[in-house]
A and B are shown apart, each in its own frame.
Chain A
């Protein structure tokens, strides 16, 4: 059974909006909805920047109502991460009064029997609008009683755009932006931040799994391609030259030669080794391909092409199915390998 492990890939994306979407988000923050009139006269809500028929840039904004009609809907019994509710709700496309195209959002009802095409719904605003589509918390049936006041806005339909609360990036934009950057009037919403976090299962090939399981026992296990007979470490699901899986196992020593390397001085988001560090290609004796690892045990400027190095293993009790069992490679003190011995691996 090949090895697998969870991998979480996530970033909070910072999206600049441009004039059309920026105006839409700025108005949302003030609890108003604006659409844009298309080349064919249709009012698009949310506004589109370019006309779906003529591709012309659009700029004629039209304010529409916070109430509208359900055009279609579906029921979400088990919401997924990031969706508007963590309890069952309806998705719906809602045509707001004054708009010609429907908006996709959630409707907060307890049961699908409360939903129907043609039903009247209205926006339930988020308590703390920031200038984003989630300022619309959801829709609710228009038959629900209206809330008497919103927490911060006594008269939502007439409150002018106000600078607070600021979305991420807005204050930075307002001050001294360089030419070509930033946009919109001071205080307008110009950016949205969208977290996107995905959980995936990362699997490795059966061949690499054997190598990783051997690593857990402190062994370096390569495999030979049955066609070209080159020794690969890690072994491969397909020899990149021959397109067939590597097969015959070859145990390799933990000694080898630095073919080439760089010194990483640059820090970056997500970095797991503190710079500066030497990232070096290490060609193990008996292998036909080098892999990238760390070289420590001497000053960075003493690392050389051709330097002979040996693995420095972590304590055995810390070993797992990973190349990280080797903490780093350190100089053996032997004379450097002649250039000809690794020239073909550069």
Chain B
């Protein structure tokens, strides 16, 4: 099975569009169909990822199927997760042999609300969420733990930012903190966006693209929901996923790290060597559309294979506070 197409909406701080993603998805679908020569009738299974809370509305994903033109009816499912997990569900569906193609999408309009505050609602609703600890503050506490343990430094974090944005790490260290020990450059921007991927089984994949991105391993795990019970300086769920997916020999990795220290943490958890190119796309630090950014990592990594730039790549997606849930997907050219 392989990824044969990828398209995404422009990463912008705030779209004028609706929270149901239709305005972002219509052109993304059109681009995918143009790229692969497929039409909506050719798609065997559809699966999407999004969040009601991002839209502050029940059933916010329902209107998104209008962007498909979902009549005659479609074989479809939805996860309240990043689109990367929708891709996992689609991967299962193709493996059952019921279908040979799937279109997966994720979307989110983070700018509709106060994202830092909304994400506090992912925390334990009895003992933590009533204090409204925001997502940046949680990440900052995680960053300090790693700094204190000598696993990374503010300098190393600034170097991650400098590589993503350009600029000089030493200059960046002169910037003020926004959530000590995090500076603005350590945090992914709030981004509206959408992305979509087409998956196809063996024979179909070869028909649809000259250099498909063959999935050789896709695994995901979750860690405890109790922040205090976790070792926040590492990511057991990422490490276990990487072991199971067999990441040996990857040349490039697209990591869904919304904070600079998390990129370092993930490199360590996966065991990526210095020779592995990380986030050649710019990564989430240059655009982090919630519920699409993980799927975009898979798409961006696949594109490295489409374009013949690499032979074996890794994509990672995350969900939940301080990297609680993680997915690793390894793809290669053949």
Contacts and interface: CB of A to CB of B under 8 A. Distances in A.
Does chain A touch chain B in the assembled complex, meaning CB atoms less than 8 Å apart?
A: yes
A240 B228 contact: no
A199 B179 contact: no
A106 B144 CA distance: 16
Contacts of A200: 19, 55-56, 112-113
A117 interface: yes
Given A72-B148, A103-B228, A241 B128 contact: no
A194 B130 contact: yes
Contacts, number: 184
B69 A238 contact: yes
A238 B55 contact: no
B22 A71 contact: no
Contacts of A24: 127
B23 A205 contact: yes
A141 interface: no
A48 B124 CA distance: 10
Interface residues of A, number: 66
A134 B131 contact: yes
A237 B70 CA distance: 14
Contact of B144 (A7, A46, A117): A117
A91 B133 contact: yes
Contact of A243 (B16, B29, B53, B148): B29
B154 to A, nearest CB: 13
B127 A205 contact: no
Contact of B141 (A82, A91, A240): A91
A190 to B, nearest CB: 12
A132 B130 contact: yes
B26 A244 contact: yes
B30 to A, nearest CB: 8
Contact of A240 (B23, B70, B126): B70
A45 interface: yes
A341 B19 CA distance: 35
A165 interface: no
Interface string A115-159: 001000000000000001110000000000000000000000000
Interface of A: 1-2, 4, 7, 9, 13, 15, 17, 21, 24-25, 38, 42, 44-46, 48, 52, 71-77, 80-84, 91-93, 101-106, 112, 117, 132-134, 192, 194, 196, 198-206, 236-245
